[in-house]
Amino acid sequence: MKKPTLRHIPLAGILAITLGAAAPAAAQTAQTPQHLNIGISQYPSTLHPLFDAMVAKSVILGAAQRPMTAHNAAWSGQCMICTELPSFENGLAVRENYTEGKTGIAATYKIRPGLAWDDGTPLTAADFIFAWQVGKHPQSGVSNGEFFAKDIRDITTSAPDTLTIHFDKEKCSFALINDFHPLPAHLEKKIFDEDPANYKNRTLYNTDPAHKGLYFGPYRIARLQSGAFVTLEKNPHWTGAAPAIDFITFKTIETSAALTAHLLSGAIDYISGELGLTLDQGLAFEKRLKTQRPGQYNVIYKSGLTYEHIDLPLDRAPFDDVRLRRALMHGMNRAQINSAVFEGRQPPALGNINPLDPAFTDDVTLYPHDPAKAAALLDEAGWKTGKDGYRYNAKGEKLSVHFATTAGNKSREVIQQAIQSDWKKIGVDAVIKNEPARVLFGSTMRERKFEGGVMYAWLSSPGNIPKTTLHSSMVPTAENNYAGQNYTAYKNPAMDKIIDDLEVTCEETANKALWGDLQKLYADDLPALPLYYRAEPFFIPVWLHGVEPTGHLNPTTLWVENWSIHK
């Protein structure tokens, strides 16, 4: 599943808290507990593993929770909770025939010995079964409800440490279930059973997120202040490789200027690459570090599967007209933005599939900057130029587009203003209306309240089939409690069929052809307006070892037990 790069007290309040927090690790002695302070630009709307797919949440929970499986920095799938990935070769996966004539797969996962929630309760198959029950409930509203409700036919268990997932289809990549996080049934099941529709608001992850028993990773959440910080401490019941750092605090610092100031002052030790500075900000800050802090930081620019784009509500006029969407594409000078802002390092995206992905093709419709073509498309769509230079339809309605992004993200705001200027030249009035990330992605997008364009990024895993963002069954509605991530309400039966076929077409040539069809249709239909594929800058102090950027959905913190401090 893709995850958007999203997602508060006023800035002054944040500064007061973060500047008064524990001393930076670089200033601590061997006798004091090691405390690592990490700056991130957004605060998560929830800490529940199944709700609101947000990078901020993934980065924090990576140290305190684990999915069953994940992709590592080498982009290979691996077990995080299980002992071995099921396959037909090792006998942990078998085909099974269902009464209606369908063929599925029964995949058996064995839980790693010794895993326990941070109150000492053993992690068992029952916690996965409970998570599945939450995920498939029609009123729960989890981010990827389709996976739980339709992909999984049943889950059975033969022992507390063993579960068999009965998949409804014979999928190609069935073994990797990166979206499957267990939930502590001993704490959460009663809350869920009492009121499934309001579970999202009543869960302990929201009402008491530092409650013991919610986490089973190397760390547990010890204390937090909404919008400001989350502090993690070692989980005493963790039996894996012992983490070397005693405490980790994630501090929310929403502007790039404040992030860099905090790093230079020592209020934070490390700026998260997953959710810190953008490429242009990183390039500028690296130059400052070379003069002000020479030799103190390792800087890594990690290219990866982060796709910056603009969503539009396609079920509402005028955005339901593809001619308008194509005009908006031709009206943007994305090449100039790349040159002026990113020093040529982030070329315009052709679609939602990154060139680093083996499935990528460039044999698609292209949208170079072409104001004349944009004008012709708008004329054809019935939008004529008025005396003031803006476009109007036959009813005299002005072509005005509300345009939002995450407030405080300076890079996005600069790009947003450049696009606003470009669109004005073709007669489109872009009205900027930004919101804090936690609001934008907590309700505005999830509940489809946005009225025009929203600029943000999806972060995906290698080989990810974009079902949650493009399939017509994944449109969030009040009826499904806003499950799904197809925020644009894009619906095309041809795209649905391609996505469905991709899941079960495993022969390499046929599979690659389907990926080509998906990208061509995406470029023609424009479910979203492609901007660029991002590279993420990591500013890592030279004394912090073991941080390995992945370039995809799974954050560095999933391997936080490998981190260490050496001065």
User: Shortest CA distance to 539 belongs to which of 279, 255, 249, 246?
Assistant: 279
User: In whole angstroms, how far apart are CA 319 and each of 25, 311, 496, 527?
Assistant: 50, 10, 20, 10
Note every long-range contact of 155-159, with CB atoms under 8 Å and residues 24 or more positions apart, other chains counting.
155/125, 155/128, 155/129, 157/125, 157/126, 157/129, 159/125
Of the candidates 189, 184, 202, the residue with the CA atom closest to the CA atom of residue 64: 184
Side chain identity at residue 248, one-letter code: I
Residues 6+ apart with CB under 8 A from 203: 48, 188, 191, 192
Q: Which helix (H) or strand (E) holds 470?
A: helix 467-470
How far apart CA 31 and CA 483 sit, in angstroms, is 49
pLDDT of 29 over the 80 cut: no
Q: Residue for token digits 């993690």?
A: 232
In this prediction, residue 193 carries a pLDDT of 97
pLDDT at 133 over 70: yes
How confident is the model over 450-462, as pLDDT tens digits?
Answer: 999 999 999 888 9
Residue 18 pLDDT more than 50?
A: no
Q: CA 124, CA 157: separation in Å to the nearest integer? A: 10
pLDDT-based confidence at residue 22 (cuts at 50, 70, 90)? very low
| Least confidently predicted of 269-278, 379-388, 521-530 | 269-278
User: How far apart (Å, rounded) are the C-alpha atoms in residues 561 and 506?
Assistant: 35
SS3 270: strand
Largest Cα separation within the chain, whole Å, is 75
Least confident of 276-280, 485-489, 520-524: 276-280
Distance CA 230, CA 223 (A): 6
For the segment 351-376, the average pLDDT, to the nearest whole number, is 96
For residue 2, how many other CB atoms are within 10 A of its CB? 23
3-class state of residue 433 by DSSP: coil
Q: Closest by alpha carbon to 71, among 501, 559, 560? A: 559
Coil, strand or helix: which one is 244?
Answer: coil
pLDDT tens-place string over residues 136-161: 999 898 878 888 988 999 999 999 99
Q: Would you give the DSSP letter of residue 415?
A: H
Residue showing tokens 């995850």? 3
The residues facing 298 across adjacent strands are 540
User: Quick one: which H or E segment has residue 29?
Assistant: none
Percent of the chain with pLDDT over 70: 95
Kindly state the average pLDDT of the residues 15-43. Answer: 60
pLDDT score, position 14: 25
If phi > 0 it is left, if psi is from -120 to 50 it is alpha, else beta; for residue 215 that is beta
The whole-number average pLDDT for the span 303-323 is 96
CA distance 224 to 250: 9
Question: How far is CA 412 from its chain centroid?
Answer: 17
